[in-house]
Structure 1
């Protein structure tokens, strides 16, 4: 969730937004780490790390995103947005149907953030 990907052709023929949820990749293994961390954020860092670790147990395979990319790239008239996988579709539907305040509360709970 939250890793949105905008892609398109350089000539401007196709622009679309891919919206994946959690996806099993080695993305975090390539991130740059700070020389020194701030103790004030230790709890938040540990919580975020645990959340991502838990989410990867049920995350979509990268092929789910590739399938959406191929669908968008080969469509005669591509849509503006493509959700990638079941969870991403559920979030998209909820965002449209549930009042903003309730959606935000649910998302904060899922992300293990204070209400």
Structure 2
């Protein structure tokens, strides 16, 4: 069997780096990407420069992997950024566009660049890194939640379309994951004093939960399981908390789930 070729976006740290390392240990030839390309430190995979918001950059990275190997067997769409807790009206339209341009349209650009080659080879896997906020929206995270809902919907539709071409698509939806990603969250660009106290309280609660959260290796293991599955599922949670939240969303009364979210975040009625 030929060595399988994997392309992992956003692999300079966090979930992307952990995933690229895990795939490399499993025998994949892995290419990680970041906007700045190769960075200091030894890795068991190569790094390529790639900005998922730039179509020419996307095409250049994909074409380089194809030039070297002639195929891409696995695409892991991980590149994205988080948003600090903020009320929906505290982010401008420009900021909303920026969030979607990376977290959602970046996945579309990567998929459009890779799928034609997977179709020609008659096989391939695409794994999109979503979030539990893609099925359980969080107050004061409206735009991030919306981007992850978009990822989930796109992944489900795409999987239906591509199965007949030998390509499967899955979305992985972790809960809180402790990574360097959380130290550089995008702050709201139109803050309002009305929300200052509650914004600070929610932010503090999120930081508390992150202190005891799973590390990125939990997601990396899930990615490998999806990549190796003979019959992959469409949606996977990653980590115990995410699994519990999925069960709550599916089976608990909506009012109970609602109340639980508000209680956890110390939100008044």
2:174 counterpart residue number: 20
Q: CA deviation at 1:42?
A: 0.8
Q: CA deviation at 1:35?
A: 6.0
1:2 counterpart residue number: 133
The alignment of Structure 1 onto Structure 2 pairs a total of residues equal to 114
Q: CA deviation at 1:49?
A: 1.4
My pick for the range that moved more, 36-45 or 86-95, is 36-45
1:93 aligns with 2:93: no
1:80 aligns with 2:211: no
RMSD: 2.6
Judging changes above 3 Å, is the alpha-carbon distance between structure 1 residues 15 and 95 closer, same or farther for their aligned structure 2 residues?
A: same
Answer yes or no: is the 8 Å Cα contact 1:17–1:81 preserved in 2: yes
Cα distance per residue 1:45-85 (max 9 Å; x no partner): 20121011100121111111111111112211110111100
Task: Give me the whole-angstrom Cα distance separating, in 2, the residues matched to 1:88 and 1:33.
Answer: 25
- The match for 1:41 among 195, 211, 226 is 195
Larger Rg: 2
Judging changes above 3 Å, is the alpha-carbon distance between structure 1 residues 34 and 105 closer, same or farther for their aligned structure 2 residues?
A: closer
Judging changes above 3 Å, is the alpha-carbon distance between structure 1 residues 37 and 97 closer, same or farther for their aligned structure 2 residues?
A: closer
Judging changes above 3 Å, is the alpha-carbon distance between structure 1 residues 61 and 28 closer, same or farther for their aligned structure 2 residues?
A: closer
Cα distance per residue 1:26-50 (max 9 Å; x no partner): 2233334456632222112201210
Judging changes above 3 Å, is the alpha-carbon distance between structure 1 residues 62 and 113 closer, same or farther for their aligned structure 2 residues?
A: same
My pick for the range that moved more, 105-114 or 29-38, is 29-38
> Which runs of 5 or more residues in structure 1 are unaligned?
none
1:111 aligns with 2:242: no
Task: Give me the whole-angstrom Cα distance separating, in 2, the residues matched to 1:54 and 1:31.
Answer: 15
1:52 counterpart residue number: 206
Q: TM-score under structure 1 normalisation?
A: 0.81
Task: Give me the whole-angstrom Cα distance separating, in 1, the residues matched to 2:261 and 2:188.
Answer: 28
Judging changes above 3 Å, is the alpha-carbon distance between structure 1 residues 57 and 34 closer, same or farther for their aligned structure 2 residues?
A: closer
Judging changes above 3 Å, is the alpha-carbon distance between structure 1 residues 101 and 35 closer, same or farther for their aligned structure 2 residues?
A: closer
Relative contact order higher in (CA < 8 Å, ≥ 6 apart):
1
Judging changes above 3 Å, is the alpha-carbon distance between structure 1 residues 57 and 16 closer, same or farther for their aligned structure 2 residues?
A: same
SS of residue paired to 1:31: coil
Q: TM-score under structure 2 normalisation?
A: 0.38
